[in-house]
Chain A
Amino acid sequence: MSGFGFTEEQVLRYSRHIILPKIGGAGQRKLLDAKVLCVGAGGLGSPVAMYLAAAGVGTLGILDFDRVDLTNLQRQLLHDTDDVGRPKVDSAADRITGINPGVNVIKHDTVLNSENAFEVLEPYDIVIDGTDNFPVRYLVNDATQMLGKPLVYGSIFQFDGQASVFMPGQGVPCYRCLFPEPPPPGTVPSCAEGGVFGVLPGIIGTIQAIEAIKLIIGIGEPLIGKLLLFDALDMEFTTVKLRWDPDCPVCGKNPTVTELIDYDMFCGLPSGQPPLEAEHGVATTSVEA
């Protein structure tokens, strides 16, 4: 494969991509040159990171402040039983390197907040949302809009999943065009009581990996302006239209959100506060803080 600068090992490793007409040597070169940040190394982040590593994405950032817990292993395939207690970025890096030692893994063992978000996200071409809470979802949405970077969104609850692609700028929808504000604390059930079907993030995260690769190579029809809904119990995929909202607080005509916001963490309730019924709203966050 002259011209693309592949090593002999790369020609073999990526041969099934290279012979695909829509990817080819040129597409594989784009993957090798791509820099993708995976926010969260959990249920969604696991298939995202593993498939992007296998596909040859050259630089993979993994952001997670957490340590591996036994309750993670029912769905988070980045981590092994022996990894319990280790920082997730370390076990994730080991898994990624095991799959493909050619990937440059950048570990971000930190909590994303308004102070560091621009600095962390800036070097990457594409950001993948694999978080488990509203504050970071809104932060990542707003930061990618302000930095002009694509965001590949995925979210899960129990047996239901959602996925979409949010491109920056006016005329195409972002997460806030869909849900302008996070639900108020107290209207969501606590994280642990939600539960999640372990295979579900495998489906949604894999869809996020597909969308990221399509964006990198520039093929197909990414989920821009579309929201994919998956119901595992009925085994039903539905796609609904997402519209750009001219009144969107971040990408609308007169943005009201012009700097990053640290919403209060409300995955669960602050200690000492009586649990509120989740009767007032349906929005929810899922397992573990």
Chain B
Amino acid sequence: MPVTVKIPTILRRHVGDRPVVEGEGATLREVLDDLDRRYPGIKGSIVTNDGDLHRFVNLYVNDEDVRFLGSLDTKVQQGDTVSILPAVAGGR
């Protein structure tokens, strides 16, 4: 069940500079594991060694913040769009 994963500029170097990739899995965690198999290193940019989301990165399924759904155990289904949202500070 492929879901669409939107990759922010800062992480695109992990995925061959693609803005969007597809991931397989029934939960967000499975999708990230799937991505990490094909694009090694991307999961570590989003998830801590303990398996939690970094506090300065958020994931959205469609337009919902997954911290208010089921975090990495949030179920996803075909057609969902996962967005990765890093904290960015630039402004000058």
Chain A residue, CB-CB nearest to B19: A234
CA distance A282 to B83 in the complex (A): 13
The answer to whether B89 touches A288 (Cβ under 8 A) is: no
Q: Which residues of chain B (32-58) have a CB below 8 Å from chain A? A: 41, 44-46, 54-58
In the complex, B64 has a CB within 8 A of chain A = yes
The answer to whether A238 touches B83 (Cβ under 8 A) is: yes
Selected contact of B90 from candidates A76, A156, A179, A180, CB within 8 Å: A156
**A45 — which chain B residues lie within 8 A by C-beta?**
91-92
**B60 — which chain A residues lie within 8 A by C-beta?**
240
The answer to whether B57 touches A155 (Cβ under 8 A) is: no
**A234 — which chain B residues lie within 8 A by C-beta?**
19
The answer to whether B10 touches A157 (Cβ under 8 A) is: yes
The answer to whether A157 touches B9 (Cβ under 8 A) is: yes
In the complex, A33 has a CB within 8 A of chain B = no
Selected contact of B87 from candidates A40, A72, A280, A283, CB within 8 Å: A283
CA distance A201 to B46 in the complex (A): 26
Min Cβ gap B44→A in Å is: 7
The answer to whether B56 touches A242 (Cβ under 8 A) is: no
CA distance A233 to B20 in the complex (A): 12
Known: A159-B9, A229-B85. A182 touches B56 (CB 8 A): yes
Q: Number of contacting residues on B, CB 8 A?
A: 30
CA distance A187 to B10 in the complex (A): 12
The answer to whether A162 touches B88 (Cβ under 8 A) is: yes
Known: A42-B91, A156-B90, A286-B89. A240 touches B83 (CB 8 A): yes
**A281 — which chain B residues lie within 8 A by C-beta?**
45, 54, 56-57, 86
In the complex, B2 has a CB within 8 A of chain A = no
The answer to whether A179 touches B63 (Cβ under 8 A) is: no
Contact with A along B49-80 (1 / 0, CB 8 A): 00000111110100111011000000000000
CA distance A158 to B9 in the complex (A): 7
CA distance A38 to B43 in the complex (A): 37
Which has the most chain A C-beta neighbours within 10 Å: B10, B46, B60, B84?
Answer: B10
The answer to whether A284 touches B91 (Cβ under 8 A) is: no
The answer to whether A279 touches B44 (Cβ under 8 A) is: yes
Which has the most chain A C-beta neighbours within 10 Å: B45, B56, B86, B90?
Answer: B90
Which has the most chain A C-beta neighbours within 10 Å: B10, B45, B56, B65?
Answer: B56
Chain B residue, CB-CB nearest to A191: B90
Q: Which of A6-14, A100-108, A116-124, A131-139 contacts B (4 or more CB under 8 A)?
A: A131-139
The answer to whether A43 touches B92 (Cβ under 8 A) is: yes
**A240 — which chain B residues lie within 8 A by C-beta?**
60, 63-65, 83, 85
Selected contact of B86 from candidates A129, A132, A284, CB within 8 Å: A284
Which chain A residues have a beta carbon within 8 Å of chain B's beta carbons?
40, 42-45, 72, 76, 129-134, 137, 154-160, 162, 178-183, 187-188, 194, 196, 201, 227, 229, 231, 233-234, 238-243, 245, 267, 279-288
Known: A181-B55, A240-B63, A241-B65. 8 other contacts (CB 8 A): A158-B10, A160-B88, A178-B87, A179-B56, A182-B56, A182-B87, A279-B44, A282-B45
> Please, could you name 15 A-B residue pairs with CB atoms under 8 Å apart, sorted by A?
A131-B92, A178-B58, A182-B56, A196-B90, A201-B92, A231-B9, A242-B65, A280-B45, A281-B45, A281-B56, A282-B54, A283-B89, A284-B88, A284-B89, A286-B88
Which chain B residues have a beta carbon within 8 Å of chain A's beta carbons?
8-11, 19, 41, 44-46, 54-58, 60, 63-65, 67-68, 83-92
